[in-house]
Amino acid sequence: MLDREEHWNAVLAEILLSRKVGTAHVKLVGDLISVTAQLDMADVQSSRPALALDSLIAYDEKMGPLEEAYKAAWQAVQAAPDRERRVPELRRLGEALAAAVEGIADFARQQGVTVRLHTFGEPGS
């Protein structure tokens, strides 16, 4: 933060605080934060690091484009001049967030980390 770079999850915070998004977007942001934390915790709690250098590189290669997609979708939501033009951008944002959630969950599973997505509104949640 000292070098004036944006914090990696600043966009997620903006989405959470926005009046432009719906509950589905908030849920997806929550899932994204949760699954990222679960992967981080598995690494911390493991007697051996869960992610080797090669895995970290693979993670960055997989997640970089997914993060850029939801950031671009969020910028499009912000740039939409009215509700009517915002609707397709919100749909794209939802799809980009869902892809990021699934991408990190799949990556975690490939690393042998069990992740649990919180399915709000479904039985047992």
- Residue 75 domain-assigned? yes
- Residue 4 domain-assigned? no
- Residue 117 domain-assigned? no
- Residue 121 domain-assigned? no
Contact (CB, 8 A) for 12 and 33: yes
Model pLDDT, residue 48 = 57
Q: Which domain holds residue 72?
A: 10-110
Model pLDDT, residue 2 = 45
Model pLDDT, residue 9 = 86
- Residue 34 domain-assigned? yes
- Residue 5 domain-assigned? no
86: Cβ contacts below 8 Å, ≥ 6 apart: 20, 77, 80
Domain tally, the chain: 1
Model pLDDT, residue 49 = 57
Cα dihedral 16→101→67→55 (10° resolution): 140
- Residue 3 domain-assigned? no
pLDDT tens, N- to C-terminus, the chain (125 residues): 345 556 768 999 999 999 999 999 999 999 999 999 988 887 666 655 556 677 778 888 989 999 999 999 999 999 999 999 999 999 999 999 999 999 999 998 988 888 888 765 555 44
- Residue 59 domain-assigned? yes
The pTM assigned to this predicted structure is 0.84
Q: How far is CA 101 from CA 37, 50, 84, 92, in A?
A: 12, 19, 27, 14
Model pLDDT, residue 60 = 87
